[in-house]
């Protein structure tokens, strides 16, 4: 197994304390179809799930960092106003994420594409299944044990 999967294996049994999404925000609003997923646990550890732009799953054990945080130059402000930027949002109080708070990760199953690359993970949390999957340069969150979107993109759950 690779490093990403080794980090996923360490999540089993951990109790979820909070959930954040990193979404792209622009003039038209938030893009909910492409997001990074950051989960915080009761022991204050966390995991950030994201893609590398080529379908591959990246599992980071540190928090997302905003490249535009702090004092911004006029050039940066103009860029953000015209093009948008990635921002962190606490979704712990929003459905369906409220349903996984205080629940433990019971199981994790790899999601692989047609080339057998690790593109995501299916987390069993209580009686819910959260799927985080990368498709090309987008990362998606899908719910359900057999979400049809997974197979539509050529992905499968399991080894």
Identify the CA nearest to 63 among candidates 90, 30, 99.
Answer: 90
Query: CA-CA distance, 60 to 38, in Å (whole number)?
Result: 9
Give the pLDDT band (50/70/90) at residue 137.
Answer: confident
Residue 107, Cα to own-chain centre: how many angstroms?
Answer: 16
The token duo for 100 is: 């996984």
Pair of tokens at residue 124:
């069993």
Number of separate domains in the chain: 1
Q: Tell me: the pLDDT tens digits for 28-79?
A: 889 888 999 999 999 999 999 999 988 899 999 999 999 888 899 999 999 9
pTM metric for this prediction:
0.91
Supply the range of the domain harboring residue 28.
3-157
Ranking 50-59, 72-81, 127-136, 143-152 by mean pLDDT, the lowest is: 143-152
């Amino acid at each position: 197994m690779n490093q990403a999967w080794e980090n996923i294996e360490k999540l089993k049994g951990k109790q979820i304390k909070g959930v954040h999404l990193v979404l792209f925000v622009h003039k038209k609003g938030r893009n909910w179809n492409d997001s990074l997923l950051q989960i915080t646990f009761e022991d204050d550890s966390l995991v950030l799930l994201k893609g590398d732009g080529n379908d591959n799953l990246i599992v980071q054990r540190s928090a997302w960092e905003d490249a535009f945080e702090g004092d911004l130059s006029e050039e940066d402000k103009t860029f953000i106003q015209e093009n948008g930027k990635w921002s962190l949002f606490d979704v712990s109080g929003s459905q369906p994420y409220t349903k996984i708070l205080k629940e433990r990760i019971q199981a994790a199953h790899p999601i692989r594409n047609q080339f057998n690359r690790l593109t995501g993970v299916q987390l069993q949390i209580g009686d819910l299944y959260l799927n985080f999957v990368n498709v090309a340069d987008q990362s998606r969150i899908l719910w359900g044990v057999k979400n049809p979107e997974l197979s539509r993109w050529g992905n499968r759950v399991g080894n």
